Chains A and B, each alone.
Chain A
Amino acid sequence: MEAMLQPVADLFGPAWPLVWTLVKIIAIIAPLMICVAYLTLAERKVIGYMQVRIGPNRVGPKGLLQPIADGVKLLLKEIVIPSGSSKGLFIVGPILALAPSLVAWAVVPFDDGLVLADVNAGLLFLLAVTSLEVYGVVVAGWASNSKYPFLGSMRAAAQMVSYEVSMGFALICVLLISASLNLSDIVVSQSSGRFADMGLGFLSWNWLPLLPMFVVYLISGIAETNRAPFDVVEGEAEVVAGHMVEYSGMTFALFFLAEYANMILVSILTSVLFLGGWLSPFGFLPDGFHWLALKTAAILFIFLWVRATFPRFRYDHIMRLGWKVFIPVTLVWVVVVAVWMMSPLSIWS
């Protein structure tokens, strides 16, 4: 690979590292955007079949071109900026919503050594970047200068800050047992253990010893991305569409992209942190990126499944679940894991 690229590298001279990084970024973002587009179709199809409908089937064979048609439609629509809005922030809002959900992909390891930025503090970086996602919603809600967006953004701020705490504690458990903040190291640390020696790798992954944290992380992830049943931020019956009420065309599409990119991000992170990333579940099968893709797809399916199954939580129930259930559970489990690690029964040595 290096030798093959040498002529191209010579062409760009000293700017080559920059160009090469840009190429890698595009190699991550472009497939991601396609995944986002087809996730919307998958969502409509899956929910359709769960509700005994067929879902979109008109545009292209079996409705496969539907996301493209939607994208073109949103691109061509006029962007309406309300006259009473804070214009600069009104445009900045959607950008702030999408940017963190793309930035976080920099540290996601796709395979052994296949990562854009192999930083030591990867997990911390992720925590920091995902905590920025709330700004897009809050800024958009405020800049719209309208009641429903404002209420929606207030809800978003409270909800995302609350669930970040329990998410953070779940991640602390993960970094405790893998003794590293580097995401690749976290995956590698899941490849050894008693069950992995028996060829049953999937029992050595973090989800089993950290089962409560796995559940908390997944549910907090759904709450962080403001997905059903935690989508009070944009609950139609209460606040119309929350922060997105005043947005149209491409600015609306950015919020949409951000939401789905975040869903994929949370799913891939759950796979990396708890389900062994690119590791294969059985000893006799080779590891590889396809396992990560499979695990991510399975968790994404759970996202859609949950949306089709559960009614929307009432707002105070969301707050209760976050503060009175998850935070005590995670706090206790951090101590339990720490004591377990120090005890003779420790399985991580």
Chain B
Amino acid sequence: MEFKTFVFYFLAVILVFAALRVITARNPVHAALYLVLAFFNASGIWLLLQAEFLAITLVMVYVGAVMVLFLFVVMMLDINLDRLRQGFWSYLPVGSLIGVLMAVEMAMVLGGRYFGLDAMPAPPDPQAGYSNTRELGRVLYTDYVYPFELASLVLLVAMVAAVALTLRKRKGTKYINPSEQVAVKREGRVELVKMPAEKD
């Protein structure tokens, strides 16, 4: 067996195991950490495909930022598993529909030759000195600049909306303003008072 194939199966087995544990782990923190492991192995597989930009970005964005915040929230929650199980039967039809859809999609990709997927040729073998990052950047900012800008605009709107939805001002809080505190001068805080010495 070629070394590359071995590496692929090694990563794939851990990936599938980690993905399974994400949905079976009882403890939500463990589940989140298994998801981190799954992301890691997925990025390893992308590296094997010589998509180093996507692989590293996956680690940087999902593992380095998204999952940290996820963990942050999950650790603070007091999750009651019985409460979570309550809606199981009512959600089952929708869930199974989505599951079947995903299974069909996977079957179409894996059995590509029965669905005419080989009409899409595999990308040519990259030359030495080929930079995945440079290539992606070039395509993203020339051929696909409008869809790209549109996507970033949607993200911006989502961001503003998320802030607007959660922003509320409570009245009567003793909130301190760090900007004002930083600007404090000695004169504003300390007053030197001259007092004559007291004599009997």
Contacts and interface: CB of A to CB of B under 8 A. Distances in A.
Interface of A: 86, 89, 119-121, 124-125, 127-129, 131-132, 134-135, 138-139, 142, 150, 153-154, 157-158, 160-161, 164, 181, 314, 316-317, 320, 324
Given A135-B68, A317-B178, A124 B132 contact: no
Contacts of A314: 178
Interface string B158-200: 0000000000000000001011011000000000000000000
Given A120-B131, A320-B179, A164 B65 contact: yes
B63 A158 contact: no
A157 B71 contact: yes
B37 to A, nearest CB: 11
Given A139-B33, A161-B65, A121 B53 contact: yes
Contact of A128 (B64, B133, B176, B179): B64
Contacts of A89: 30, 33
B52 A121 contact: yes
B interface, size bucket: 20 to 34
Given A120-B52, A138-B71, A131 B65 contact: yes
Contact of A132 (B27, B64, B132, B133): B64
A128 B71 contact: no
Given A120-B52, A142-B71, 10 more contacts: A89-B30, A121-B133, A125-B56, A128-B56, A135-B68, A138-B72, A142-B75, A164-B64, A316-B178, A320-B179
Interface in B92-140: 131-133
A127 B182 CA distance: 31
A41 to B, nearest CB: 33
B59 interface: yes
Contacts of B60: 124, 127-128, 131
B57 interface: yes
B45 interface: no
B151 interface: no
12 contacts: A89-B33, A120-B131, A121-B132, A124-B60, A131-B60, A131-B63, A132-B64, A134-B64, A161-B65, A161-B68, A317-B178, A317-B181
B15 interface: no
Interface of B: 27, 29-30, 33, 36, 52-53, 56-57, 59-60, 63-65, 68-69, 71-72, 75-76, 131-133, 176, 178-179, 181-182
A134 B36 CA distance: 13
B56 A124 contact: yes
A156 to B, nearest CB: 10
Contact of A119 (B33, B52, B71): B52
A292 B187 CA distance: 46
Contacts of B52: 119-121, 124
A17 to B, nearest CB: 11
A218 to B, nearest CB: 20
A173 to B, nearest CB: 16
Contacts of B75: 138, 142, 150, 153-154
Contacts of B76: 154
A71 B33 CA distance: 31
A120 B135 CA distance: 12
A135 B36 contact: yes
A86 B33 CA distance: 13
A79 B142 CA distance: 57
A153 B71 CA distance: 11
A181 B36 CA distance: 25
Nearest to B40: A132
A320 B104 CA distance: 49
A68 B51 CA distance: 44
Contacts of B65: 131, 161, 164
B72 A154 contact: yes
A282 B181 CA distance: 44
Contacts of B53: 121, 124
Contacts of B27: 86
Nearest to A324: B179
B178 A124 contact: no
A121 B56 contact: yes
Contacts of A121: 52-53, 56, 131-133
Given A131-B63, A132-B63, A320 B178 contact: yes
A158 B56 contact: no
Contacts of B29: 142
